[in-house]
Chains A and B, each alone.
Chain A
């Protein structure tokens, strides 16, 4: 009998390879990429995320925005409520570098204001002889940093005896740029807080439904269906309308975040539920249960980490809706109220067609709204692709 097998009954040769054993042999087979095979889950996600250029840029942009709102007082050239009656509805000023062909550094031209009695408008004209250099790291309007520490240091201040309104002023002569910077603090946090609310609700409710199943699941399913079939804006309006007028603006702010979160958890709960339904059949869950782990521990410690990254990605995608929701509510007068300033509040100034025709710079807060929403969308897309183990 010929072949690879030894003859029946013959002693089997015993063979041990002399070559040194390398435990990483399989990992090394991916030539040159030992790191790829040994990388942790987080690292893999980061690499995948980095490939998504737009998402990376958006992430950096948003990070800058959130750092900026911490230092809004310092970055804004004026205070939030600083009014200048001499300078009402002033159009944006341009920053120049050269005067008469020679370099002066950043400066603005002084302005004179005349009342056009025929059209009842203020007409501002640049005086090209009046060069007013900007000051940097200077002392200007005093403020209380986060309402606590007194300060007056600004990144850039208006020139001495002059004005610096990069984006113009509103009907009370308040600087639009400064107000946008302060408004970002509210508008950007409201989305995060609202998502945090809906995140907690979504995980708890979806977790219960997915883990216990049965009638809990049935009730939750129905609830989700109902909430999803009601158009959100009218419901937001109704909920916002029932907040008493006597509440302080800060409480209203908290109320709005809760309202935004209260109706938005359905999508997350659904994702949690379906993921749990598939994950709870896994062997490691059974193992944990046999070892005596309680339900909350199994859910929190073993199941949720399994799809957390996916959840964060979908939560990121719901933030834009919340920011837009707040803007719309405030614009309609049912959301935040002055003196709290958000981008929605700023846009109420541009409510009438007159403003668009005469003072279009009051529409400036739309630009940050659009940019932030686009950035959140791209970031969310990138995160979702990175968190998806299938690709």
Chain B
């Protein structure tokens, strides 16, 4: 078991390195840098930009060094928790990001839980009653959830939540709690606001999960051990509970890998529309102003979150399912 975990963590390292290289390339692709766009902005406002000062800043942040050196500087800094400097906010990236990381993680985590809670009964019903009206109906509802753009759903839900429940529009908490330290009231306010983004982000993942769960479970229902159990007279409910359901539970953990990227993507868009206190709105702002370290760190962080999520799901699955542990050890 420990060998499997070690192997799995080791495999993660080249993946993360490749991701960091990709993110860095994307950040470097646009012509010019933050300073150039700032000069342009200052000129447009009629101010005089001191070229010498700009050059000094550039040298200070290492923008005059070759690309490869800067990349290693960036990656090396991240390893010791230094994510670079946000030019726009004039603060270290870690200070700008602050609580937002935790809120992003919380939103994603709650969304996964909600997705499970919704997908589980629906998937089981659809698999045990295939091609019935209930199956078609639920599949259709799921598909509609998939087809409506997240941001539109966010806007409409926000509007109705405001009318029906009086929830304040936008943000992850009441206005009075913004920038306040964590308190019991703040937690309550967050919980009150959380359901809208969670529901919206969950719609997309749920449909896919129900589909896959249904297909998997239906394959399982045709296996011989199910036939045997049925033949010896096990009640259908007990049969379901005893065998296929347990396999379906495995599937729930392994499926994190496929829904997590979708959930994080959805979380970003929804966060931008609802201006939640997560990484979304900051990310888009950083991208637009070429604040490269901030944007790069966000992208890196989101990728990291996904990779870690998949890692945890893989390890949990290995603990639950001995077959995977064995197969995983053998392939390498």
| Chain B interface bracket (under 10, 10 to 19, 20 to 34, 35 or more) | 35 or more
Instruction: Verify B287–A231 contact, CB threshold 8 A.
Output: no
Which listed residue, B30, B143, B288, touches A374 by the CB 8 Å rule? B143
**CA–CA, A234 to B266, complex, Å?**
9
Confirm or deny: B295 has a beta carbon within 8 angstroms of a beta carbon on chain A. yes
In the complex, which residues of chain B have a beta carbon less than 8 angstroms from the beta carbon of A351?
Answer: 155
Residues of A within 8 A of B (CB): 222-223, 225-226, 228-235, 237-239, 241-242, 244, 320, 324, 327-328, 331-332, 334, 347, 350-351, 353, 356-357, 363, 366, 369-370, 373-374, 377
> Which stretch in B144-152, B191-199, B223-231 binds the other chain?
B144-152
CA distance A357 to B269 in the complex (A): 22
Q: Top 8 A-B pairs ranked by shortest CB distance?
A: A233-B265, A241-B287, A373-B147, A242-B30, A231-B264, A231-B265, A231-B261, A370-B147
Bound-state Cα–Cα, A231 to B284, Å: 14
Report the Cα distance A374→B144, complex, angstroms: 7
Q: What residues on B are CB-neighbors of A324 within 8 Å? A: 147, 149
B162 cross-chain contacts in A, Cβ below 8 A:
353
- Provide a sorted-by-A list of 6 A–B residue pairs whose CB atoms are within 8 angstroms: A235-B26, A241-B284, A328-B151, A332-B284, A347-B152, A351-B155
Which of B11-19, B54-62, B117-125, B313-321 lies at the interface with chain A? B11-19
For the complex, what is the distance from the CA of A93 to the CA of B265, rounded to whole Å? 38
Which of B72-80, B92-100, B182-190, B302-310 lines the interface with chain A? B302-310
Residue of B nearest to A344 (CB): B149
Q: Nearest chain-A residue to B295 (Cβ)? A: A238
- In the bound complex, how far is the Cα of B26 from the Cα of A80, in angstroms? 35
In the assembly, what is the distance between CA of A320 and CA of B146, in Å?
9
- CB nearest to A227 among chain B residues: B22
The answer for the CA separation of A234 and B284 in the assembled complex, in Å, is 8
Contact B306 A229 (CB under 8 A): yes
Chain B residues, Cβ within 8 Å of A235: 26, 299
Say yes or no: B303 contacts A229, CB within 8 Å. yes
User: Of A226, A350, A356, A357, which is within 8 A of B19 by CB?
Assistant: A226
Besides the known contacts A229-B15, A229-B306, A237-B283, 17 further A-B residue pairs in the complex with CB atoms under 8 A apart: A222-B18, A226-B15, A226-B18, A231-B264, A237-B284, A237-B287, A242-B29, A244-B31, A328-B151, A350-B152, A351-B155, A353-B158, A353-B159, A366-B152, A370-B144, A374-B144, A374-B147
Closest to B14 in A: A222
Residue with the greatest number of chain B CB neighbours at <10 A, chosen from A239, A331, A377: A331
Whether B277 is near chain A, meaning CB under 8 Å from some CB there, is no
CA A320 – CA B262 in complex, angstroms?
14
User: Closest CB of chain B to A322's CB: distance in Å?
Assistant: 13
B268 pairs with A233, CB closer than 8 A: yes
Chain B: CB-nearest residue to A328 = B269
Whether A230 touches B19, Cβ cut-off 8 Å, given contacts A238-B26, A242-B30, A356-B156, is yes
> In the complex, A229 Cα to B288 Cα: how many Å?
24
Q: Which of B20-66 contact A (CB under 8 A)?
A: 22-23, 26-27, 29-31
CB pair B147 A369 closer than 8 Å: yes
A238 & B18 in contact (Cβ 8 Å cutoff): no
Within 8 A of A (CB), among B190-226: none
B30 touching A347, Cβ below 8 Å: no
What is the bound-complex CA distance between A241 and B307, given in angstroms?
24
Q: Does B83 contact A (CB under 8 A)?
A: no
Taken together as a complex, chains A and B put the C-alpha atoms of A298 and B29 apart, in Å, by 38
Known contacts A328-B150, A331-B149, A231 near B306 by CB under 8 Å: yes
Point out the residues of chain A lying under 8 angstroms from B293, CB to CB: none
Which residues in A have their C-beta under 8 angstroms from that of B30?
A: 241-242, 244
* B172 within 8 A of partner (CB): no
A238 to B291, CA, bound (A): 12
Nearest CB on A from B152, distance (A): 5
Known contacts A231-B306, A244-B30; is-contact A377 B146 (Cβ 8 Å) = yes
A residues less than 8 Å from B283 (CB atoms): 234, 237
Complex Cα spacing A81 to B287, Å: 31
Contact between chains at A238 and B155 (CB < 8 Å): no
Return the chain A residue nearest B304 by Cβ: A229
Q: Is A370 within 8 A of B150, CB to CB? A: no
Rounded to whole angstroms, the CA-CA distance of A56 and B272 in the bound complex is: 38
Q: Which of B14, B27, B265 has most chain A Cβ within 10 Å? A: B265
The listed residue (B144, B147, B158, B261) touching A230 by CB distance below 8 A is B261
- Min CB gap A191→B, angstroms: 13
B149 interface neighbour in A223, A229, A232, A366, Cβ under 8 Å: A366
Contacts of A334 in B (CB 8 A): 284, 287-288
Give B148's nearest chain A residue, CB to CB. A370
Q: B302 and A234: CB pair below 8 A?
A: yes
Which chain B residue has the least Cβ–Cβ distance from A228?
B261
| Closest Cβ–Cβ distance, residue B215 to chain A (whole Å) | 11
Contacts of A234 in B (CB 8 A): 264-265, 268, 283, 298-299, 302
State whether A331 touches B151 (Cβ < 8 A).
yes
